[in-house]
Structure 1
Amino acid sequence: MASGLARCIAAAAACLLVGLPTLSAQETLTPDALRQNAVGALQAGDPITARRYAQALILRDPDDLNAHLILARAARDLGDIPPARSAAQTAWSLAQTDAERYSAALITAQVLSTEGKRTRAQFWLRRAAQHAPNDLLREKAKQDFRYVKQQNQWKTDLTFTLAPNSNINNGSAQDRSRLNYAVSEILFGEPIEYELNAEAQAIAGLEIGGTLRTRYRFHQTPVSAHDAKLALSYRTFSLHDDLPGLSGSDFAYGTLAAGYGYRRLNIDGRGEFASDIETGQSWYGGARYAQYLRAQAQQLFRPSRTQQLRFGGELERLWGQATPDRDLIGLSASITQSLPTGNSAYLGLSASTSQSDSASSDYAEIELRTGFTLAKPVLGASVQFGLGASWRDYDASVHSRDGRQDNRLFADVTAVFKQIDYYGFNPSLTLSASRTNSNIGLFDTNRVGLNIGIKSAF
């Protein structure tokens, strides 16, 4: 009896909302049938009827999750955003299983995207991917995420750093160096060695920091884009050993930057030209360090599906507050090649020159960098290797008549653990090491670091 009464109520409500004449007992719609008809109306492009059916179902049972999902979709299709958003929120609050949470998150993202709130829509699509009951639906959420990301005028990247580091202050690996040659020869007639204090030697510690980069694409055409950019970064340290008069914040470094970026597709869609201009302020140890103005340009070209070439140039002007003024000019070129095995290899070469009134900031440098990415995971992680060398020459140095020459070798390996996935993010681990050999002991450095971070899976 109770079941028959419910069917009658549902049928009467449906007739009232849809505006049809009263149905006979044989034509009474059950809630399931009414729900199916509502879905059919959506599929047939009739959101008005779907909304009326959904409202009838909600009148019968306010906790009907599927009815709220149908109502959210129908209202969204009709452009009636506030009711659509409310119905989606109610559906999320009623969801109990992964399948229900997936459906509620997906419709919430669709409503937000229609409303123009695409950054929030991306968050809900990550939720949908997190609760997807199978790989097929997860891939659907990922595809929707990529589409919304492409349409979003805002793009924000947030990274965190937690990294043990053997040399947070770029200190010397030696405990002795030679005194300023001019001073030592005047006073002593020959070069004199001296002991380096604790602050001049390498200091081990834990780096803790974060970076926020965001851009707003204020104008876009099918082949070009204009972006306004903002970036914030800060890192501080916790020292491994207690050193009198020193704390990790003495080596803290932060930057604030704003800029403009331009992108344009060219070479029949196989190339892209990019240029950026940025101005910023940096702080070191809590005090203003330098202001800078930087301009960069690069041309990317894909001769084939397996090869990518990149050429670039850079100009920078730095006005020092706690460091000398300098001008920097740089050129770079690189090639990325996909191999028949599925692995990919990278080779890059760059050259730069820095001009300054201070000998400590006046140099020329060449750097060679290589990389190799494995196609097959290792123990469930995607792995990338890097190796490089640089040669830096200072014509003059207060420490040597022969100037200063630094030879640096560096290597790193990064593992991204793709089997560990939370809201579309994978943990990553980077082990890096570098060694600088200089003709001046003060500038011999060794560094080993371990960086723990997260990377987006899509």
Structure 2
Amino acid sequence: MTRSTKVLAAAALALGLTQAPVKADVSMGIAEARQIAAASLAQGQPQLAAQIATGLLQRDPSDAYAHFVLARAFQQMRQPKLARRQAALAYRYADTGLGRYQASQLAATLAVESAQPGMAQIWLRRSWNHAPDDRAREVLKRDYRVLRALNPWNVQLRLSMAPSDNVNNGAEDPYAVIAGVPWVGVLSGDAMALSGLKMTGDLSLGYRFTQTDRSQTRVKGRLYLSRVALSADARAQAPAAENSDFAYTKAELGLEHRRSLGKEAGLLSAELTLSRQWYGGQPLQNSLRIEGARVVPLAPGKQVQLSLAAERSQPERGAPVTEMDLRASVSAKLSGGGTFSYGASLQMADSLYVNARRQRATGFVAWGLPRPIGPAKVSLSLGGTVADYPDYRVGPFVVPGGRQDHMLFGSADFVFENLDYAGFVPSLKVQAQKTRSNVSRFETNEFSVSLGIVSRF
């Protein structure tokens, strides 16, 4: 008797289907054994299903279906650790997309049953790669949102690389000119615009330690890194400059509380954040920021967000700076499927250091197109900033009437949703910025194209 026939015989005897030796060919024995295993699970007989699956695995350790049956059997027998291991093996050995989809869905369910929502999220992302249709993907998105709400941990990582013609925010003109001052200087090579590659990494980590039906409180951490690789032209322009001279790092630790005020009243939040910044490998400043925000629904799909923040910064060298920041924005979902938003902000800073005193106003509009253009989902933004430094000085010179900067900026974002892996898709951002100032050192132009990865859900 072959091994597969022995599997079928054991199953049949256990079910009381036969009292005589079983005669069957190999392929039929395996197929019928699988059917009996599935029936055993449906009838609440996980021990028998586990026995049959074990026999099938003795014949072929890479039998994905047998691993799947064994995972389901251990699930019914309340042995989640063993069940998760078998579900992972079923996913590993499955040779069809549907098999991998079913195995990853089972693994996600087992993770939820074991109170491991983070692991369940990972398995749902694996399911995304093998979902049979759009309806299944919509269910995955819904389930992922539920798990995100259940998981006390929240992790976000953003990476991008951007070829830029101005990685150091340098001046476009080699001459230092101050309007109204009969003096002209010459800027060093590293004070002018340098081309190269700008790379950024932004890691945010949060942990929710209290939650009720209407509120939640969490601790948050963030690490932001910006690094550059100077081009050959930039090195020729500024031979003494090193990539590390333009490295920027910011680390944050914060506490956030959110409270729902009801469906019509919206959301209220408050946040306290400590941060430390470095530039060029050297400490730059420490800051303490307190912010309150309110989100108010205006209509279905439309809301306004208001925020007020106060920040106190202590540079490594120089006097502390106190800044107030007021922001307002409106966002709406359009009937055709697109989005539209606009907003404004006002910042005011005061300090004993005269060059830190400033007022700045910014406005923007943004539009998410309702339909893709070619393979990409597209969103556009445009805005401007006006800044006034009333007491600005350049060396021994007082800038007549203070320093005034006028900036225009715009960007186009392209998200390629058809090129996804585990729900992550590539993105491309084209952005341009132009600043005009009565102090020529701050007249800058920048154009960059950045590549990144974003999540679809």
With normalisation by structure 1, the TM-score equals 0.89
Any idea what SS the aligned residue of 1:396 has?
coil
Query: For each residue in 1:409-437, what CA deviation from the matched residue of structure 2 results, as whole angstroms up to 9, or x when unmatched?
Result: 11111010111111211111111111111
Alignment partner of 1:212 is 2:203: yes
Structure 2 CA distance for aligned equivalents of residues 427 and 25 of structure 1: 61
Alignment partner of 1:54 is 2:50: yes
Matches within 5 A, 1:104-253: 104-178=103-177, 191-240=182-231, 241-242=234-235, 243-253=238-248
Matches within 5 A, 1:38-49: 38-40=37-39, 42=41, 46=44, 49=45
Instruction: Please report how far the alpha carbon of residue 251 of structure 1 lies from its aligned counterpart in structure 2 after TM superposition.
Output: 0.5
Cα distance, 1:380–1:290 mapped onto 2, change above 3 Å: same
Note if contact 1:10-1:60 (Cα within 8 Å) is conserved in structure 2: no
Structure 2 CA distance for aligned equivalents of residues 51 and 158 of structure 1: 44
Structure 1 CA distance for aligned equivalents of residues 302 and 22 of structure 2: 65
Cα distance, 1:96–1:9 mapped onto 2, change above 3 Å: closer
Note if contact 1:34-1:53 (Cα within 8 Å) is conserved in structure 2: no
Structure 2 CA distance for aligned equivalents of residues 34 and 381 of structure 1: 48
Residue number in structure 2 paired with 1:430:
429
Any idea what SS the aligned residue of 2:188 has?
coil
Instruction: Please report how far the alpha carbon of residue 35 of structure 1 lies from its aligned counterpart in structure 2 after TM superposition.
Output: 3.8
Residue number in structure 2 paired with 1:186:
none
Any idea what SS the aligned residue of 1:12 has?
helix
Note if contact 2:49-2:73 (Cα within 8 Å) is conserved in structure 1: no
Cα distance, 1:274–1:425 mapped onto 2, change above 3 Å: same
Note if contact 1:37-1:50 (Cα within 8 Å) is conserved in structure 2: no
Any idea what SS the aligned residue of 1:302 has?
strand
Instruction: Please report how far the alpha carbon of residue 72 of structure 1 lies from its aligned counterpart in structure 2 after TM superposition.
Output: 1.4
Residue number in structure 2 paired with 1:276:
271
Alignment partner of 1:342 is 2:337: yes
Any idea what SS the aligned residue of 1:164 has?
strand
Structure 2 CA distance for aligned equivalents of residues 211 and 65 of structure 1: 39
Residue number in structure 2 paired with 1:187:
none
Structure 1 CA distance for aligned equivalents of residues 260 and 73 of structure 2: 38
Structure 2 CA distance for aligned equivalents of residues 40 and 379 of structure 1: 48
- Residue range with higher mean Cα deviation, 314-323 or 448-457: 314-323
Note if contact 1:277-1:295 (Cα within 8 Å) is conserved in structure 2: yes
Among all aligned residue pairs of Structure 1 and Structure 2, give the percentage whose two residues are the same amino acid: 30
1:352 to 347, 353, 365: 347
Structure 1 CA distance for aligned equivalents of residues 169 and 4 of structure 2: 76
Work out the number of aligned pairs and report it. 442
Cα distance, 1:80–1:100 mapped onto 2, change above 3 Å: same
- Residue range with higher mean Cα deviation, 63-72 or 393-402: 63-72
Residue number in structure 1 paired with 2:10:
12
1:392 to 387, 392, 406: 387
Note if contact 2:295-2:306 (Cα within 8 Å) is conserved in structure 1: yes
Any idea what SS the aligned residue of 2:122 has?
helix
Cα distance, 1:122–1:269 mapped onto 2, change above 3 Å: farther
Structure 1 CA distance for aligned equivalents of residues 319 and 433 of structure 2: 26
Structure 1 CA distance for aligned equivalents of residues 29 and 137 of structure 2: 32
Instruction: Please report how far the alpha carbon of residue 447 of structure 1 lies from its aligned counterpart in structure 2 after TM superposition.
Output: 1.2
Unaligned segments of structure 1, at least 5 residues: 182-189
The residue type paired with residue 330 of structure 1 is: D
Residue number in structure 1 paired with 2:101:
102
Cα distance, 1:6–1:433 mapped onto 2, change above 3 Å: closer
Cα distance, 1:43–1:319 mapped onto 2, change above 3 Å: farther
Instruction: Please report how far the alpha carbon of residue 150 of structure 1 lies from its aligned counterpart in structure 2 after TM superposition.
Output: 2.2
Any idea what SS the aligned residue of 1:107 has?
helix
- Residue range with higher mean Cα deviation, 147-156 or 421-430: 147-156
Residue number in structure 2 paired with 1:258:
253
Cα distance, 1:83–1:338 mapped onto 2, change above 3 Å: closer
Structure 1 CA distance for aligned equivalents of residues 16 and 40 of structure 2: 19
The residue type paired with residue 59 of structure 1 is: G
Structure 2 CA distance for aligned equivalents of residues 426 and 338 of structure 1: 22
Any idea what SS the aligned residue of 2:170 has?
coil
Alignment partner of 1:371 is 2:366: yes
- Residue range with higher mean Cα deviation, 281-290 or 330-339: 330-339
Structure 2 CA distance for aligned equivalents of residues 361 and 207 of structure 1: 27
Cα distance, 1:9–1:431 mapped onto 2, change above 3 Å: closer
Note if contact 2:11-2:33 (Cα within 8 Å) is conserved in structure 1: no
The residue type paired with residue 152 of structure 1 is: N
Any idea what SS the aligned residue of 1:142 has?
helix
Cα distance, 1:374–1:56 mapped onto 2, change above 3 Å: same
Structure 1 CA distance for aligned equivalents of residues 31 and 54 of structure 2: 13
Structure 2 CA distance for aligned equivalents of residues 51 and 277 of structure 1: 55
Structure 1 CA distance for aligned equivalents of residues 264 and 444 of structure 2: 45
Cα distance, 1:21–1:311 mapped onto 2, change above 3 Å: same
Note if contact 2:359-2:387 (Cα within 8 Å) is conserved in structure 1: yes
Structure 1 CA distance for aligned equivalents of residues 201 and 440 of structure 2: 33
Instruction: Please report how far the alpha carbon of residue 291 of structure 1 lies from its aligned counterpart in structure 2 after TM superposition.
Output: 0.8
Note if contact 1:405-1:439 (Cα within 8 Å) is conserved in structure 2: yes
Note if contact 1:408-1:437 (Cα within 8 Å) is conserved in structure 2: yes
Instruction: Please report how far the alpha carbon of residue 43 of structure 1 lies from its aligned counterpart in structure 2 after TM superposition.
Output: 5.1
Structure 2 CA distance for aligned equivalents of residues 272 and 425 of structure 1: 29
Instruction: Please report how far the alpha carbon of residue 270 of structure 1 lies from its aligned counterpart in structure 2 after TM superposition.
Output: 5.3
Query: For each residue in 1:51-79, what CA deviation from the matched residue of structure 2 results, as whole angstroms up to 9, or x when unmatched?
Result: 43133232244434223212213323443
Note if contact 1:232-1:257 (Cα within 8 Å) is conserved in structure 2: yes
Matches within 5 A, 1:52-91: 52-62=48-58, 63=60, 64-91=63-90
Aligned CA-pair RMSD: 2.5
Structure 2 CA distance for aligned equivalents of residues 340 and 318 of structure 1: 44
Structure 1 CA distance for aligned equivalents of residues 225 and 317 of structure 2: 18
Any idea what SS the aligned residue of 2:69 has?
helix
Structure 2 CA distance for aligned equivalents of residues 179 and 332 of structure 1: 32
Query: For each residue in 1:198-256, what CA deviation from the matched residue of structure 2 results, as whole angstroms up to 9, or x when unmatched?
Result: 12211122112211101111111121111111111212111112122101210000111
Instruction: Please report how far the alpha carbon of residue 15 of structure 1 lies from its aligned counterpart in structure 2 after TM superposition.
Output: 4.7
